[in-house]
Amino acid sequence: MKESDQILELVRQNNGVITTAMVVNEGFSRGSLKYLADIGRLEHAARGVYTLPEAWEDEFINIQSRYKRGIYSLDTALFLCDLTDRTPVRFHMTFPSTYNLTNPKKDGIVCSGSKEPFYSLGVTDLPTPGRNTVKGYCAERTLCDILKPRNHTDVQLVTNAFKRYAARKDKNIPLLSEFAKVLRVEERLRSYLEVLL
């Protein structure tokens, strides 16, 4: 099987999306991606991201492949965790506190900076509407984040997110309480949980 056919097979296995990093990790040359794009077998969706022409473009994947250190958070993570029906108008991402936020801000991303251990607390793989996987904060971490006054999250959005979480079979109240303690939102969390549980 030719290298280009192997790459196309890899793209099909990955839901119609492939990144340059994935191709290099498999031992193929970057030039093969450009060749496949030039002959119309792949489309160049974003820097380092290629898709099959018939694949639905997944903006979540495109943005995260451009900003690999960005983790989906706040309203965007609520959407990816299925805690809201509101599709994000602008993407929220959290970056390490030392990260230069100039380019993501230029691209319209709402950015937050965070130091360790908070930056990596509760990071998980989340499914996108296009059935791809991106890095975001888990439901429990996100619920704690939206309780912080500095994040200015709409009260209606917070209430609905907690109602949806309380109705889930996979809710993890001990983990939620642990994150609330670490992120110092225990009092606020308690008021929501008393009403819902």
Structural domains in the chain, sorted by start: 3-57 (1.10.10.10), 70-196 (no CATH)
48 pLDDT band, cuts 50/70/90, is: confident
Per-residue pLDDT tens over the stretch 158-193: 999 999 999 999 999 999 999 999 999 999 999 888
77 has a pLDDT exceeding 70: yes
CA dihedral in degrees (123, 103, 86, 167; nearest 10)?
10
pLDDT digit string (tens) for 121-138? 999 999 999 888 999 999
Residue at token pair 């309780």: 147
Q: What is the DSSP letter of 40?
A: T
Confidence of residue 153 (pLDDT cuts 50, 70, 90): confident
Residue 107 one-letter amino acid? D
- Strand order across the 17-19 sheet: 17-19, 49-51, 43-46
The pLDDT of 22-33, averaged and rounded, is 89
